[in-house]
């Protein structure tokens, strides 16, 4: 009974991480329309083939498709014909004048309703700010409220990486803060057991940094490099302020390890590396706060990109993102407590 | 008493520098020969931002060389005896101030030599006053960080190698800020336009000095 009281957080970590893995690998992405061909329409009748992802068009009687702009339905799709599960053909009759050349596609079926912004462009029209609905669309009530992960343009399936990449950095910062805290505690007491915690926290922090770099690198490769008209990069590494911050952090703590290894006497090692740890950690935090303010970033929440919580994280993602963060942090702390116990025992054996 | 000790330390450092003239001249020669090697490989740099970046890299390496020796003799018996007479906090402040003056002198020398050997177009709009502020603030943050880290690195055997790997990652951000700031000065920016750089760099400098002031007593005679 006593052990449950003491170790409940380890069980919590396991439960949260199992939930995270199960959710992020098993829950499907929401059905949506990914592309239209042709995507640029002209005045008059246009036959368009829409290509969906995770859709089931076959044998679905209740499908309505429309083009809209600024919450006004402008063109209703006619002669809707299912080709297969993921393809559907539709006719759009584009009038001479519309409020915008760029149009959003809204689709409603008996299984899902989807909204694909800026999917279709209409050329050859004159833009006028007529704000009335041009047609009435029959919105089918997709009553089935299925659990799914949002399907975003550009991100596609890689959105699942959110539960792994972002918590790695959160965990690393928490673990490095623990290291900083115990370095201060060591300088106040000169008790070697605090130095062991500070040292092992850096090792675990570096592990999480490596995992964060690997997951981030893979994510960057498959999202940022695809859109070459926006970003000029095609590689695993981009020149971005957050990546520079990550690189600086990793370099600082690798340097910390080298400093420790180049000192001989145990207490000298502990004292000098604690001084460097405090010096570097405070400066690193200041830089990580200042740097994104003076330069642009590809990451959400910097340089004009919307932050988490605006619309990147919808309620479904929140449901698993926050547990994931807590789970990974608890795992990091758990690893640290194991290391601490191991090295305390080793210390005891050496002294006996 | 505290200020008196700092002034005394500054005099002491200056006296040693005057006695060992070979050190300061070797650093100046290092700077001139580095810039000469650069001028042989570039001669003219069309883009001012590359010109400016090269200048800061040369500054970084020459200051690393110059400051790496600030705690070199500290482990000798005579030095340890001298240091028992003063407050450790006065010692680190004295060293930081001395290294700051030394690095400003070195940076100004390198700026003239660099301008002399390596030409670039597009310096017509340059705001020299603002560029000077950028150089002073940037070299303050480089020299004070290097002073503190060289105190740490002097405890190991491989002084300059350890100094570089410990200090460079901490220096990258303030170096980036200084480079952007001086680029703005080259493009003809004004003080109002660069207010955030001045504020950030000054705050960073203040923070580095405060941290050194708080932490140095723990390195004391270790």
Rounded-to-integer distance, Cα B35 and Cα B37, Å:
5
Looking at chain B, the number of H-run helices and the number of E-run strands are: 8, 2
Q: Which residues of B touch A185 (CB under 8 A)?
A: none
Q: Which among B153, B176, B215 has CB closest to A279? A: B215
What's the pLDDT at A255?
Answer: 94
Handedness of CA B58, A291, B149, A237 (dihedral sign): negative
Residues sharing a CB contact under 8 Å with residue A111, sequence separation 6 or more, in sequence order: A31, A55, A56, A60, A142, A144, A146
Take residue A189 and report the two structure tokens written for it: 């007491």
Q: Hunting for tokens 């991100």 — which residue is that? A: A155
DSSP string covering A256-296: HHHHHHT--SHHHHHHHHHHHHHHHHHHHHHHHHHHHHHS-
For residue A100, what pLDDT band results from cuts at 50, 70 and 90?
Answer: confident
**Mean pLDDT throughout A53-74?**
79
End-to-end CA distance of chain A: 33
Take residue A300 and report the two structure tokens written for it: 């959400």
The answer on pLDDT for B128 being more than 70 is yes
Take residue A133 and report the two structure tokens written for it: 């609905």
Q: What does the domain layout of chain A look like in residue ranges?
A: 32-127, 156-351
Q: How far is A275 from chain B (nearest CA, A)?
A: 6
- Which of 35-64 (B) contact A at CB < 8 A? none
Rounded-to-integer distance, Cα B211 and Cα B200, Å:
16
- Residue B204 contacts A where some CB pair is shorter than 8 Å: yes
Nearest CA in chain A to B141: A283
Q: Which among B152, B200, B212 has CB closest to A290? A: B200
In a mutational test of the B interface, the residue from A209, A283, A286 whose CB has the highest number of chain B CBs within 10 Å is A283
What are the strands of the beta sheet with A87-94, ordered from one edge? A32-37, A44-53, A87-94, A78-82
What's the pLDDT at A47?
Answer: 83
Q: pLDDT digit string (tens) for A265-307? A: 888 899 999 999 999 999 888 888 777 766 666 666 554 444 4
What's the pLDDT at A26?
Answer: 87
Q: Where are the beta strands (DSSP E) in chain B?
A: 44-45, 119-120
Take residue A132 and report the two structure tokens written for it: 């009335």
Q: In angstroms, what is the C-alpha Rg of chain A?
A: 27
3-state secondary structure of A253: helix
3-state secondary structure of A70: coil
Q: Which residues of A touch B157 (CB under 8 A)?
A: 262
**Mean pLDDT throughout A113-132?**
75
Rounded-to-integer distance, Cα B27 and Cα B171, Å:
21
Rounded-to-integer distance, Cα A335 and Cα A329, Å:
10
Rounded-to-integer distance, Cα B63 and Cα B68, Å:
8
Q: Which residues of A touch B179 (CB under 8 A)?
A: none
Q: How far is B123 from chain A (nearest CA, A)?
A: 24
What's the pLDDT at A33?
Answer: 82
Q: Which among A248, A278, A290 has CB closest to B172? A: A248
User: A187, B208: Cβ pair inside 8 Å?
Assistant: no
Cis peptide upstream of residue A38 (ω within 30 degrees of 0): yes
The answer on pLDDT for B7 being more than 60 is yes
Rounded-to-integer distance, Cα B222 and Cα B220, Å:
5
User: B196, A268: Cβ pair inside 8 Å?
Assistant: no
Higher pLDDT, B23 or A239: B23
Q: What is the mean pLDDT of chain B?
A: 87
Q: ipTM more than 0.85? A: yes
CATH superfamily of A32-127: Immunoglobulins (2.60.40.10)
Nearest CA in chain A to B174: A287
Higher pLDDT, A251 or B85: A251
What's the pLDDT at B73?
Answer: 64
Cross-strand bridge partners of residue A45? A93
CB–CB of A7/A29 below 8 Å? Answer: no
Nearest to B197 by CA among B146, B148, B137, B147: B137
Q: Hunting for tokens 């030599």 — which residue is that? A: B113
* Ramachandran angles phi, psi of B6, nearest 5°: -65, -45
Take residue A61 and report the two structure tokens written for it: 């009687």
Q: How far is B179 from chain A (nearest CA, A)?
A: 12
8-state DSSP, A160: G
Lowest mean pLDDT among A31-40, A126-135, A239-248, B30-39: A126-135
Rounded-to-integer distance, Cα A31 and Cα A14, Å:
31
* Ramachandran angles phi, psi of A72, nearest 5°: -115, 130
The answer on pLDDT for A208 being more than 90 is yes
Q: What are the CA-CA distances from residue B58 to residues A46, B62, B118, B122 (Å)? A: 63, 6, 13, 21
pTM as predicted: 0.84
**Mean pLDDT throughout A79-103?**
82
State the DSSP H helix or E strand holding residue B12, giving kind and residue range, or none if neither: helix B2-19
Rounded-to-integer distance, Cα B139 and Cα B107, Å:
8
CB–CB of A121/A101 below 8 Å? Answer: yes
Cβ–Cβ pairs < 8 A, chains A and B: 84
CB–CB of A274/A258 below 8 Å? Answer: no
Burial class (CB within 10 angstroms; exposed 0-12, middle 13-18, buried 19+) of A339: middle
Rounded-to-integer distance, Cα B222 and Cα B208, Å:
21
Q: Which residues of A touch B212 (CB under 8 A)?
A: 279
Three-state secondary structure along A86-151? CEEEEEEEECCEECCCEEEEEEECCCCEEEEEEEEEECCCEECCCCCCCCCCCCCCCCCCCCCECC
What's the pLDDT at A304?
Answer: 46
Q: Please count the CA atoms within 13 angstroms of the CA of B148 that sit on its side-chain side.
A: 33
Cross-strand bridge partners of residue A110? none
Longest CA–CA span in chain B (Å) reads 55
Question: Is beta strand A113-122 parallel, antiparallel or unpaired with respect to A40-41?
Answer: parallel
Q: Which residues of B touch A280 (CB under 8 A)?
A: 169-170
CB–CB of A181/A285 below 8 Å? Answer: no
Burial class (CB within 10 angstroms; exposed 0-12, middle 13-18, buried 19+) of B147: buried
CB–CB of B198/B141 below 8 Å? Answer: no
What's the pLDDT at A225?
Answer: 63
- Residue B206 contacts A where some CB pair is shorter than 8 Å: no
Handedness of CA A174, A177, A183, A187 (dihedral sign): negative
**Mean pLDDT throughout A171-179?**
95
Handedness of CA A109, A112, A116, A119 (dihedral sign): negative
User: B219, A272: Cβ pair inside 8 Å?
Assistant: yes
Q: pLDDT digit string (tens) for B32-78? A: 999 999 988 877 788 888 899 999 999 999 999 999 888 776 666 76
Burial class (CB within 10 angstroms; exposed 0-12, middle 13-18, buried 19+) of A315: exposed
């Amino acid at each position: 009974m006593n052990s449950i009281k003491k170790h409940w957080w380890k069980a919590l970590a396991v439960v949260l991480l199992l939930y995270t893995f199960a959710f992020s690998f098993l829950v499907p992405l929401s059905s949506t329309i990914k592309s239209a061909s042709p995507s640029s329409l002209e005045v008059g009748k246009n036959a368009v083939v829409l290509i969906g992802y995770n859709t089931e068009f076959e044998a679905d009687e209740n499908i309505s498709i429309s083009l809209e702009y600024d919450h006004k339905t402008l063109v209703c799709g006619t002669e809707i014909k299912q080709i297969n599960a993921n393809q559907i053909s539709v006719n759009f009759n584009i009038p001479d004048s519309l409020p915008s050349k760029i149009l959003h596609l809204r689709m409603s079926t008996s299984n899902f309703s989807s909204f694909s912004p800026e999917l279709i462009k209409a050329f050859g029209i004159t833009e006028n700010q007529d704000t009335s609905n041009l047609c009435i669309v029959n919105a089918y009530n997709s009553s089935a409220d299925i659990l799914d992960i949002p399907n975003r343009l550009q991100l596609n399936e890689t959105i699942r990486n959110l539960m792994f990449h972002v918590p790695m950095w959160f965990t690393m910062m928490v673990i490095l803060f623990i290291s900083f805290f115990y370095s201060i505690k060591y300088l106040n007491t000169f008790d070697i057991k605090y130095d062991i915690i500070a040292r092992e926290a850096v090792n675990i922090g570096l592990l999480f940094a490596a995992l964060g770099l690997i997951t981030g690198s893979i994510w960057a490769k498959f999202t940022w490099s695809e859109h070459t008209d926006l970003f000029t990069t095609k590689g695993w590494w981009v020149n971005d302020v957050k990546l520079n911050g990550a690189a600086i952090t990793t370099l600082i703590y690798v340097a910390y390890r080298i400093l420790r290894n180049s000192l001989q006497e145990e207490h000298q090692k502990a004292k000098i590396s604690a001084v460097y740890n405090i010096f570097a950690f405070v400066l690193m935090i200041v830089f990580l706060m200042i740097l994104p303010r003076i330069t642009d970033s590809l990451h959400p929440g910097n340089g004009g990109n919307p932050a988490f919580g605006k619309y990147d994280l919808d309620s479904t993602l929140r449901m698993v993102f926050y547990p994931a963060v807590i789970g990974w942090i608890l795992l990091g702390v758990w690893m640290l407590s194991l290391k601490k116990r191991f090295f305390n025992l080793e210390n005891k054996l050496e002294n006996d | 008493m505290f200020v008196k000790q700092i002034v005394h330390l500054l005099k002491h450092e200056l006296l040693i520098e005057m006695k060992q003239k070979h050190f300061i001249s070797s650093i100046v020669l290092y700077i001139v020969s580095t810039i000469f090697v650069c001028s042989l490989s570039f001669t003219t740099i069309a883009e001012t931002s590359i010109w400016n970046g090269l200048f800061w890299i040369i500054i970084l390496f020459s200051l690393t060389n110059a400051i790496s020796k600030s705690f070199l003799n500290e482990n000798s018996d005579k030095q340890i005896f001298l240091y028992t007479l003063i407050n450790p906090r006065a010692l680190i402040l004295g060293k930081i101030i001395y290294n700051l003056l030394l690095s400003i002198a070195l940076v100004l020398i390198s700026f003239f030599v660099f301008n002399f050997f390596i030409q670039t177009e597009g310096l017509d709009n340059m705001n020299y006053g603002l560029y000077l502020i950028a150089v002073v603030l940037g070299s303050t943050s480089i020299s004070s960080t290097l002073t503190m880290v060289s105190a740490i690195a002097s405890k190991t055997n491989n002084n300059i190698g350890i100094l570089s790997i410990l200090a460079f990652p901490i220096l990258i951000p303030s170096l980036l800020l200084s480079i952007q700031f001086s680029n703005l000065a080259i493009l003809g920016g004004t003080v109002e336009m660069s207010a955030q750089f001045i504020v950030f760099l000054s705050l960073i400098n203040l923070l580095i000095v405060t941290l050194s002031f708080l932490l140095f007593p723990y390195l004391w005679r270790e």
